[in-house]
Amino acid sequence: MKKFYLASASPRRAELMQRMGLRFEVRPTHVEEDDSGSAGPEQMVLENARLKAATLSAQVPDALVLGSDTTVALDGQALSKPVNLEDARRMLRMLSGRTHTVYTAVSLHWQQGGLAHSFVERSEVRFQELDDARIDAYFALVNPLDKAGAYGIQAGRDLIIDDVSGSVENVMGLPIQVLELTLQELGFDFWN
């Protein structure tokens, strides 16, 4: 097997895989994701990651495909991408001064080899107390509309985040430490 595909349009995931030194191509899938969280946030990201990987794997059965999904969860409720800036502001107010969980699921599929391996990683993020001025300052740096929970950890982190327990890369959208171990355990070598 020579091909490894990332079934995601996320520039953050591609950047993290590049940082790992992996050889891969980006081939986003266009699937209907479930963002309701009705089965719980962990199960939601797991099913979405599996759906992305399985969909692309059916098109390229001789390649390894990685599907992934991330969500922010507070009190067991998934906070998906905000619909507008007011929704983003509402989410940051909910997260203000509290600790929440970020779940990222990774699903690796290789149809020809009969492989479908998935896992979920979690990190805990504690937010600072946020007032409207701090939220405005954060929004001046970061577009919250394309991020689960209306925030990203890459820019403006010191404005909103107090502490992260677990993988920071998991919060960004891909737990690279666990992914590296998993690829090695499964016998794949896509390193440059």
State the residue for tokens 């690279």.
Answer: 176
Beta-strand pair 4-6/64-74: parallel
Instruction: Determine whether 83 is exposed, middle or buried from the number of CB atoms within 10 Å of its CB (0-12, 13-18, 19+).
Output: exposed
Residues labelled as active-site residues: 69
The token pair that represents 163 in the structure block: 């502490």
Q: Where are the beta strands (DSSP E) in the chain?
A: 4-6, 25-26, 64-74, 77-79, 99-110, 115-127, 161-165
In the chain, the largest separation of any two C-alpha atoms, in whole Å, equals 54
